[in-house]
């Protein structure tokens, strides 16, 4: 048997590694900016075209590279960050694996111009799909200038599954915000298609937070600062009243590196306790400084998962620090005895004259005389006795509890031992049946063939094969959803103007997505206008959306766009149709007439798929005759 195991070429190995390291254009931005920070850059400029599909350019003023280092940097596992295995436990840089540049050049066309500090001449190198095409001397400023063109040009499957430009730009902005936040001393700029999205100068941590998310967040933050022998934690947490249901800003940084840590997040949530509702979460921006030997960063190529040697003690330190900050800055609600603008209460004085209160009355008024008052009034007018009862002429009052009594009869029938396996007394059963027959004759309706409403929640209808039980709220939701989708397809959606337009404040990432969504939102009835920065004005909404949080609905649509999957148009239409249906669907407890129940069932069963709601909940449950027979 011949040998079958072969050593893969470096180009193939680099493409395999790129599958983990480079997932989308945002990954390229992250790796190149981290390299610039490790090179000691104080100014970093990021230039994009088509959200990174066509071009990603990162320019820095770091220490640059020599011609030999520039060529060697693109080889796999080549790095200047570590030299031996022990260095993995004493990391002071962002990168150390030596895979990023090799992975980037394996799936794109890369051009690098770099010049080392103090050198008279730099170098220019061009690499195409891991193949070095040229390297020559070049006149360029100190630092590095990376140009990554046509990402995934040689991996069509990966390029095909990239999201829309706005979604990819949103992901780049999120990575940029993390890097710019923790490296607040560095000047950053980010532009896409010659439009400047961000431009920051060196500043403090809190100033950088305000620069990214607006000055309004500055008043919502509480400082946190604790220094122990295990770790030092600094940063800011939000006041409980500023907790959010979505779009919460939660950032952990360890030794200048962003990380995700659900365990530490739980410590913060437990510290807030009952100060915030269960469906809301606080904002926090926390920086951990720990001994590099006590953490392990080499868990995943993205380096966002970090293991701590002293995880439990740090959890306790973090929880105590959050509670202390909340208490110190009076974040815990207190009783406020504010007397400002309160009415003055006069003090009692013994020298003040007291007079009896007086009221204007008509002494000649006779309440028992319907024809007049005064001296000429007739005093022998008839005064009705309190026990006299006028004849009842309101027939609706007579049948007010008719349906209620009927339902109580069914409940009594079901509760008298059927579930417990006991038998009904003949007299009791006969009484119930006679009552039902009498009520059926009054309504002139055959009970055996009509729909009944159970507990104001379900519609029960006999069918040939047994019983059909329908959830009335979900059934109406399904019907309204399909009707609204038909209106959208037929371009028959009307808008309702808002008297006082709402202000919608977004992050830069959300703003990029909404710019792309605006034409589709207007087609389904929204009227949105762009204001300064990342603010939008909501001028009109689709008619029929009542009791719905419009801002939350738009944010849900934006979140759905970020997750990708279906086309933007389909997701927007589906989400808005479902929101309208939920707001207008019959609530539980609503009493329906037989005609209303028949109409709802006929409209539901006319649909192609009436069994489930758009969000996958069951609408119809069938109980067959065989199942009913087995109950007895």
How far is 316 from 294, CA to CA, in rounded Å? 17
Instruction: Please report which helix (H) or strand (E) contains residue 473, including its range.
Output: helix 472-489
Instruction: Retrieve residue 211's tokens.
Output: 């620069």
How many CB atoms are located within 10 Å of the residue 467 CB?
A: 15
HSE-CB at 170 with a 13 A cutoff on CA atoms is 24
Give the three-class secondary structure for 564.
coil
Residue 293, φ and ψ in degrees, nearest 5: -75, -15
- Residue 257 in this model has a pLDDT that exceeds 90: no
- 35 alpha-carbon distance from chain centroid: 33
Mean pLDDT, range 238-255, rounded to an integer: 88
Q: Could you read off the pLDDT of 99-125 as tens digits, one per residue?
A: 788 889 888 999 999 999 888 899 999
Task: Identify the three-state secondary structure at position 540.
Answer: strand
Are 569 and 524 in contact, with CB atoms under 8 Å apart? no
Q: Give the per-residue pLDDT at 416.
A: 40
Q: Is the pLDDT of residue 548 over 70?
A: no
Separation of alpha carbons 435 and 331, rounded Å = 63
From CA 254, how far away is CA 35, in angstroms rounded?
17
Mean local confidence (pLDDT), 171-186: 92
Tens-place pLDDT, residues 73-104: 888 777 766 666 666 666 666 666 667 888 89
Distance (Å, rounded) from C-alpha 405 to C-alpha 421? 25
Exposure b/e, 371-403, CB count within 10 A at least 16 = b: eeeeeeeeeeeeeeeeeeeeeeeeeeeeeeeeb
Q: Could you count the other beta carbons within 10 Å of the beta carbon of residue 598?
A: 15
pLDDT of amino acid 410? 40
Strand partners, 144: 60, 114
Distances from the Cα of 364 to the Cα of 73, 217, 358, 361, 376, angstroms:
110, 70, 18, 9, 10
112 with 125: CB under 8 angstroms? yes
3-class state of residue 36 by DSSP: helix
CB 186 within 8 A of CB 202: yes
- Position 414 pLDDT exceeds 80: no
Give, in words, the CATH class of 10-200.
alpha beta
- DSSP of 235-252, one letter per residue? EEEE-GGG-BSSS--EEE
Question: What pLDDT score was predicted for residue 521?
Answer: 80
Residue reference for tokens 């095409």: 133
Domain boundaries, the chain: 10-200, 211-328, 400-443, 450-632
CA angle 513–515–519, rounded 5-degree value: 115
Predicted local confidence at residue 464, as pLDDT: 82
Q: What is the model's pLDDT at position 231?
A: 92
> pLDDT tens digit string along 549-608?
778 778 877 777 766 545 555 666 777 778 778 777 888 888 888 888 888 888 888 888
Instruction: Look at the block and give the residue holding tokens 């031992």.
Output: 417
Can you give the pLDDT at residue 544?
A: 63
The whole-number pLDDT of residue 1 equals: 63
| Total residue length of the chain | 632
What span, in angstroms and rounded, lies between the C-alpha atoms of 520 and 529? 13
The residues near 618 (Cβ < 8 Å, ≥ 6 apart) are: 471, 474, 611, 612
450-632 maps to CATH 3.30.230.10: no
Residue showing tokens 């807030």? 272
Q: Which residues contact 531 (CB under 8 A, 6 or more apart)?
A: 503, 537
Measured CA to CA, the distance from residue 611 to residue 581 in angstroms comes to 16
Q: Which pLDDT score is estimated for 65?
A: 92
Q: How far apart are CA 240 and CA 563, in angstroms?
A: 28
Q: Considering the chain, what percentage of its residues have pLDDT values greater than 90?
A: 25
Q: How high is the pLDDT of residue 440? A: 33
Q: Give the DSSP per-residue string, 507-521.
A: -HHHHHHHHHHHHHH
Average pLDDT estimate for 358-364: 75
DSSP line for 66-113: -HHHHHHTTSTT--SS-SSGGGGGS--SS--SS-HHHHHHHSSEEEEE
What is the rounded distance in angstroms from the CA atom of residue 300 to the CA atom of residue 323?
32
- Give the CATH architecture of domain 211-328: 2-Layer Sandwich (3.30)
- Higher per-residue confidence, 376 vs 30: 30
Closest to 187 in 3D by CA, of 223, 221, 171, 211: 211
What are the pLDDT digits (tens) for 498-539? 888 888 888 777 887 888 788 878 877 788 998 887 888 999
Could you give the count of Cα atoms lying within 13 Å of 583 in the half-sphere of its Cβ?
17
What's the mean pLDDT when you consider all of the chain? 78
7: confidence class by pLDDT, cuts 50, 70, 90 = confident
pLDDT of residue 297: 77
At residue 315, does pLDDT exceed 90? yes
**How many beta carbons lie within 10 A of that of residue 297, not counting itself?**
21
Which token pair is 267? 């410590």
Checking if the pLDDT of 477 tops 50, the result is yes
Compute the Cα dihedral for 616, 622, 623, 624 and give only its sign: negative
Q: Which pLDDT score, from 0 to 100, does residue 136 have?
A: 94
Asked if the model's pLDDT at residue 288 lies above 80, the reply is yes
- What would the mean pLDDT of 310-328 be, rounded to a whole number? 92
pLDDT digits (tens, 9 = 90+) for 206-231: 999 998 888 788 888 999 999 999 89
Q: So what's the pLDDT on residue 455?
A: 83
pLDDT given at position 319: 93
Q: Do domains 211-328 and 450-632 have the same CATH topology?
A: no
Nearest to 143 by CA among 22, 38, 281: 38
* pLDDT value at 329 more than 90: no
Q: Is the pLDDT of residue 306 over 60?
A: yes
Q: Which residue has the higher pLDDT, 391 or 413?
A: 391
Assess whether pLDDT exceeds 50 at residue 381.
no
Least confident of 27-31, 54-58, 422-426: 422-426
Most confident of 21-25, 354-358, 384-388, 565-569: 21-25
């Amino acid at each position: 048997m011949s040998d079958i195991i072969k050593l893969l070429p470096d180009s193939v190995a680099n493409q395999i590694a790129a599958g983990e390291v480079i997932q989308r254009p945002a990954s390229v931005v992250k790796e190149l900016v981290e390299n610039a920070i490790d090179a000691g850059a104080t100014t970093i400029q990021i230039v994009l075209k088509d959200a990174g599909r066509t071009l990603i350019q990162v320019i820095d003023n770091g220490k640059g590279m020599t011609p030999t280092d520039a060529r060697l940097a693109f080889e796999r596992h080549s790095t200047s960050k570590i030299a031996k295995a022990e260095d993995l436990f004493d990391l002071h840089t962002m990168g150390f694996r030596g895979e990023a540049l090799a992975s980037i050049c394996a799936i794109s066309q890369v051009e690098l111009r770099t010049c080392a500090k103090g050198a008279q001449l730099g170098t220019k190198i061009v690499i195409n799909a891991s193949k070095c095409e040229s390297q020559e001397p070049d006149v360029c400023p100190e630092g590095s200038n990376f140009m990554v063109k046509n990402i995934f040009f040689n991996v069509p499957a990966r390029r095909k599954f990239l999201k829309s430009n706005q979604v990819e730009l949103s992901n780049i902005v999120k990575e940029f915000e993390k890097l710019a936040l923790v490296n607040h001393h560095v000047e950053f700029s980010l532009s896409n298609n010659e439009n400047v999205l961000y431009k920051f100068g060196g500043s403090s941590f809190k100033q950088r937070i305000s620069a990214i998310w607006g000055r309004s967040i500055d008043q919502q933050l509480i400082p946190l600062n604790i220094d122990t022998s295990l770790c030092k934690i600094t940063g800011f947490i939000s006041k409980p009243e500023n907790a959010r249901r979505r779009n919460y800003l939660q950032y952990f940084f360890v030794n200048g590196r962003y990380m995700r840590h659900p365990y530490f997040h739980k410590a913060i949530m437990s510290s807030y306790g009952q100060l915030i509702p269960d469906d809301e979460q606080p904002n926090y921006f926390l920086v951990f400084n720990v001994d590099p030997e006590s953490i392990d960063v080499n868990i995943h190529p993205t380096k966002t998962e970090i293991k701590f040697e002293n995880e439990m003690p740090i959890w306790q330190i973090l929880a105590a620090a959050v509670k202390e900050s909340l208490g110190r800055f009076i974040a815990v609600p207190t009783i406020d005895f504010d007397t400002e603008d309160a009415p003055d209460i006069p003090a009692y004085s013994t020298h003040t004259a007291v007079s009896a209160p007086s009221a204007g009355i008509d002494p000649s008024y006779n309440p028992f005389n319907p024809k007049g008052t005064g001296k000429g009034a007739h005093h022998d007018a008839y005064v009705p006795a309190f026990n006299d009862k006028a004849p009842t002429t309101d027939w609706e009052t007579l049948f007010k509890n008719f349906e209620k009594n009927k339902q109580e009869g069914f409940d009594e029938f079901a509760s008298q031992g059927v579930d417990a396996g006991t038998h009904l007394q003949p007299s009791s059963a006969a009484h119930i049946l006679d009552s039902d027959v009498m009520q059926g004759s009054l309504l002139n309706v055959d009970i055996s063939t009509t729909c009944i409403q159970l507990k104001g929640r379900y519609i029960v209808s006999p069918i040939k094969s047994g019983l059909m039980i329908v959830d009335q709220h979900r059934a109406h939701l399904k019907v309204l959803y399909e009707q609204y989708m038909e209106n959208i397809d037929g371009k028959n959606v009307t808008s309702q103007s808002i008297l006082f337009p709402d202000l919608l404040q977004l992050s830069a990432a959300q703003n990029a997505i909404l710019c792309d969504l605006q034409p589709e939102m207007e087609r389904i009835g929204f009227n949105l206008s762009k204001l300064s920065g990342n603010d939008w004005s909501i001028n009109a909404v689709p008619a029929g959306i009542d009791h719905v949080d419009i801002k939350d609905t738009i944010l849900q649509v934006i979140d759905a766009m970020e997750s990708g999957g279906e086309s933007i148009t389909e997701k927007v239409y589906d989400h808005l149709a479902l929101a309208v249906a939920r707001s207008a669907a019959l609530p539980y407890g609503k009493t329906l007439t037989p005609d209303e129940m028949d109409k709802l069932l006929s409209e539901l069963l006319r649909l192609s798929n009436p069994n489930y709601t758009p969000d996958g909940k069951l609408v119809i449950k069938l109980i067959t005759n065989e199942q009913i027979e087995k109950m007895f």
